[in-house]
Amino acid sequence: MTSILAHYSEIALKGKNRPWFIGRLVRHLHMALAGLSVKEIRTPMGRIEVVLGREATAGEIRERMSRVFGIANYSVATRVPLDFDGMAEAIVSRLPPRESVSSFRVWVRRADQQFAVLSPDLARDLGSKVWHARGWKVDLDHAELVISLEIVPGQAYLYMNKEPGPGGLPTGTAGRVTALLSGGIDSPVAAWRMMKRGCHVTFVHFHSAPFLSNVSQEKARRLAAVLTRYQLRSRLFMVPFGELQRQVTLSVPGELRVVIYRRFMMRIAERIARDVRAKALVTGDVIGQVASQTLDNIAATDSATRLPIFRPLVGMDKEEIMAQAQRLGTFEISIEPDEDTCTLFTPRHPETHARRHQIDEVEAILPVADMVKDAAARTVVEHLRYPSSLSSA
Ligand code: ATP
Ligand code: MG
């Protein structure tokens, strides 16, 4: 019988909440693997076993598992009997051809201490069988092929290649956050980092249609779709922002507009967050990257909301963020040409040190609450699902 044997990141899952974390992880795995031939998901002794059906394509299942947060590593495994000859036979019959490998080792872990033979002895004796069959060199430190055997009560799992999982914490275990998703490079990476820490992310995108094109909305939609492959269900709130911006231009001096727009974004995002029961906001801000990201302007933005604002990229360099975006698959979408909402009705040299009294003065003459209410009322929510074949279900 073929399975995928996965290990979760132990340290994070310790303590009395451990069964709850594992339950969430298993539930998420069921959803992530929906539509594939999976018979059962079991949790033997600190491991997760995905038992595959006949029609299962291990490649597709591994692909999906590579995006399930909470999984430290996984491998395609076979259940083998708990006797030495049975194990040896199972291993030898699955060895790759002689020429494809030059060194190997056998690695044994016993979660079942009742199994009489000690792990090092078993590894050595099985290794000797492999050596007789193939003649490869034994290398305990840098073996090309690691033959692994994990013994749990009643049976053992045999596997030959371990693949790294995405790590992190199972989706949803940390609660919900609301991420401000632009069409740029940074915000999708910021949202992903929160997802990795177990947060379920709701997306908010501000667009300036019909003043500007629909391109930014389409980009946000595609970015959200890439990110949804990790959390499987997402909501994307599309907020029309152009009318509010036009109103701001009537009384707010050019240099202050970017900070004022940002403060409105925070207020509207806070409203959405409260509706979806999210406990924090997330942005892709990085210290010093652009005018709106000076310490003064970040502080001015924060004071518009009472929710905590998380900026997981705040101390990263652009190169590091770009590399992460490339691995994630958002980079190519983000760099497509677009018209940035915040450049609408703004001068080329915005204020980099907005002061409290300046902001209070200009906001005093704006009907702030009504503007927020109006934009929120015209917001449209879109639902995303992965795998998308289930979207009609
Ligand atoms: P990004 O690549 O994420 O767009 P950026 O370097 O272009 O970042 P800014 O345009 O100053 O920086 O935006 C800072 C943050 O504000 C973004 O990371 C995002 O979280 C939020 N933000 C900016 N514009 C929008 C928008 N139109 N819709 C939603 N969020 C936005
Ligand atoms: Mg941007």
Can you give the residue ranges of every domain in the chain? 2-164, 175-392
CB 157 within 8 A of CB 150: yes
Reported pTM: 0.93
2-164 against 175-392: fold identical: no
Which among 259, 235, 231, 229 has a CA at the least distance from the CA of 245? Answer: 259
Q: Where are the alpha helices (DSSP H) in the chain?
A: 18-32, 58-65, 84-94, 119-134, 186-196, 215-231, 242-251, 257-275, 295-302, 318-328, 331-334, 356-364, 368-377
pLDDT at 201: 98
Q: How far apart are CA 276 and CA 383, in angstroms?
A: 13
pLDDT digits (tens, 9 = 90+) for 143-174: 999 999 999 988 899 999 899 999 999 999 99
Q: How far apart are CA 231 and CA 386, in angstroms?
A: 8
Residues of the chain with pLDDT under 50: 390-393
> How many whole angstroms from its chain centre is CA 50?
21
Tokens at 86, concatenated:
């049975």
pLDDT at 364: 97
User: How distant, in Å, are the alpha carbons of 104, 120, 134, 135 from that of 141?
Assistant: 9, 15, 19, 18
List the CATH code of the domain at 2-164.
3.30.2130.30
CB 279 within 8 A of CB 307: yes
Q: Report the separation in Å between the CA atom of 341 and the middle of ligand 2, taken as the mean of its atom positions.
A: 8
* Ligand 1 pocket member 289 (CB < 6 A): yes
Ligand 1 atom nearest the C-alpha of 204 is 29
pLDDT at 392: 38
Q: Check: CATH 3.40.50.620 for 175-392?
A: yes
Q: Report the separation in Å between the CA atom of 183 and the middle of ligand 2, taken as the mean of its atom positions.
A: 6
pLDDT at 167: 95
* Ligand 1 pocket member 182 (CB < 6 A): yes
CB 4 within 8 A of CB 52: yes
Ligand 2 (single-atom ion) residues, CB below 5 Å: 182, 184
